[in-house]
Amino acid sequence: MNILHVSASPRGQASESNALSHKIIESLRRRHPDAEVTERPIAGNVLAPVDEPYATSQQSLVDVSSDGSMAQSERLVRELELADVVVIATPMHNYTVPATLKLWLDHIARVRRTFDISAQGKIGLLHDRPVFVAIASGGRFSGERAHQPDFLTPYLKTILGMIGLHDVTFFTIEGTASRQETLAQTRLQTDQALHDYFAT
């Protein structure tokens, strides 16, 4: 079993989403002790932006080029295809995914490669597999105590569904900017949710 771990936080060891994603991976490994993890850190400037060859290929009827960021896009798509399970660690940035995760999505959601366009709309070309998303946010975005909109979870569900990945599960650490005691309580609640999920 191959787990693809995509991590988008620039905060390294201090990142709550990274810590949560490692707990998800540990839970998966308890079920599949021989699971291998492919690390795909995407924070900072590690991914090249979508460039002219890539943009032109999206306008053509065939992928005309493997130049520029097309080569990187192809590598990232193959890495995703090889994964049995995907674990994404992401902060909420301005109510949605950070720019680096958006860029990774732009690379893996490519017409005629991971989705097609039909008269009925877009059709995903990847076979479905579980995707776990570990989200950290400074404030709350779900439940009654949420004071901000959430464009992150609906967006990720939509874009992953567009390429064929429909089995998406979210775990969150909301309120990382809260007092330490409140944050500790939130971590415990998320640990319990993880435990309950993987116990079933």
Ligand X SMILES: Cc1cc2nc3c(=O)[nH]c(=O)nc-3n(C[C@H](O)[C@H](O)[C@H](O)COP(=O)(O)O)c2cc1C
**Which tokens in the block code for residue 151?**
């464009």
Residue 62 sits at the vertex; the CA angle it makes with 57 and 68, to the nearest 5 degrees, is 35
Measured from the CB atom, the residue of 105 and 126 that comes closer to ligand X is: 105
- Cβ 2 vs Cβ 35: under 8 Å: yes
Name the nearest CA neighbour of 175 among 186, 164, 165.
Answer: 186
Give residues in contact with ligand X (CB under 6 A): 9, 11, 15-18, 91-95, 136-139, 148, 176
17 is in an annotated binding site: yes
Measured from the CB atom, the residue of 77 and 97 that comes closer to ligand X is: 97
3-state secondary structure of 195: helix
**Which tokens in the block code for residue 49?**
């932006």
CB atoms within 10 A of CB 195: 11
66 is in an annotated binding site: no
Measured from the CB atom, the residue of 53 and 139 that comes closer to ligand X is: 139
Least Å distance, CB 137 to ligand X, is 3
Least Å distance, CB 138 to ligand X, is 3
Measured from the CB atom, the residue of 57 and 176 that comes closer to ligand X is: 176
Name the nearest CA neighbour of 182 among 144, 139, 147.
Answer: 139
65 is in an annotated binding site: no
16 is in an annotated binding site: yes
Binding residues for FMN: 9, 15-17
User: What residues form the annotated binding site?
Assistant: 9, 15-17
